[in-house]
């Protein structure tokens, strides 16, 4: 298992796709941040840029470029059966899921923090009269970190957004075993994200645990406790990884058996 993960990590880290995706995330933040011509501070700019729907949607697609299409590449080069013969379907799938999640997280967090570090040259982290800090303090369970530890709040939000991107990439990786087309795989997270918003939340009126916009949003937590918030985010993260990991295992096993 460890060898499989090492091989997949080496393949991912030295791929041009990861570098492309990392700088793509950074540029996404910079370009969308330009919409706010005179931000009062970096915290203000970060929260408002993150609040743009286009930032979230494009971040999910760009971060998926890193390793979400790895099964499509294996399928195209007829590499699945030889790998499975050397290891097993179980090890192949678990390795793919773990590495996809790690790489997606790294792409999003590093790309976003590069944007933050670049902006820190021109903007203060927060100001004494920051209205954004006051707004977040009244709406977030992480209010005790503000304003003294604003950078930590930004980092927490980066990790939560990274978890959202990881979840969507794992979903795309799993469904790529059914449709091994790279373009479709890159579009799948966007469809799933909108589906869970409009079907689960707007139509079926399901609880907030099905709403990714709430589950992974540290800045506005609906006045729930910090323990409840963290537990909910972890449960959603693990649920999607396990369910779509099992689905991927089933499909890969069928593909190998039918070859």
Q: What is the pLDDT along the chain (259 residues), one digit of tens a residue?
A: 788 888 889 888 888 899 999 999 999 999 999 888 777 889 989 998 998 888 988 999 999 999 999 999 999 988 888 888 888 999 999 999 999 999 999 999 999 999 999 999 888 988 877 788 888 877 788 888 888 888 999 999 999 999 999 999 999 999 999 999 999 898 888 888 777 777 766 666 666 666 777 888 887 776 788 888 899 899 999 999 999 999 999 999 998 887 6
Nearest Cα to Cα of residue 176 among 106, 255, 99: 255
Q: What is the Cα–Cα distance from 70 to 74, expressed in whole angstroms?
A: 6
pTM for the whole structure: 0.92
Residue 97 neighbours by CB under 8 Å, 6+ apart: 170, 173, 241, 244, 245, 248
Residue with tokens 């390793």: 67
């Amino acid at each position: 298992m460890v060898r499989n993960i090492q091989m997949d990590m080496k393949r991912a880290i030295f791929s041009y796709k990861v570098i492309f995706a990392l700088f793509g995330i950074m540029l996404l933040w910079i370009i969308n941040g330009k919409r706010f011509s005179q931000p009062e501070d970096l915290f203000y700019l970060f929260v408002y840029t993150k609040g743009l729907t286009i930032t979230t949607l494009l971040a999910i697609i760009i971060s998926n470029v890193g390793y979400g299409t790895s099964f499509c590449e294996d399928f195209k080069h007829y590499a699945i059966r030889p790998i499975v013969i050397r290891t097993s379907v179980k090890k192949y799938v678990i390795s793919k899921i773990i590495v996809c999640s790690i790489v997606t997280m790294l792409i999003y967090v590093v790309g976003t923090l590069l944007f933050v570090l670049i902006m820190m040259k021109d903007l203060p982290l927060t100001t004494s009269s920051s209205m954004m800090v006051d707004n977040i303090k009244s709406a977030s369970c992480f209010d005790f970190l503000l304003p003294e530890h604003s950078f930590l709040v930004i980092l927490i939000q980066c990790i939560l957004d990274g978890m959202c991107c990881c979840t969507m990439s794992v979903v795309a990786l799993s469904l790529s075993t059914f449709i091994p087309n790279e373009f479709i795989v890159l579009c799948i997270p966007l469809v799933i994200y909108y589906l869970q918003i409009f079907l689960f939340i707007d139509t079926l009126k399901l609880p907030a645990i099905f709403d990714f916009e709430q589950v992974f949003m540290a800045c506005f937590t609906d006045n729930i406790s910090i323990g409840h918030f963290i537990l909910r985010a972890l449960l959603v993260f693990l649920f999607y990884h396990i369910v779509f990991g099992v689905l991927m295992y089933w499909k890969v096993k069928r593909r190998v058996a039918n070859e």
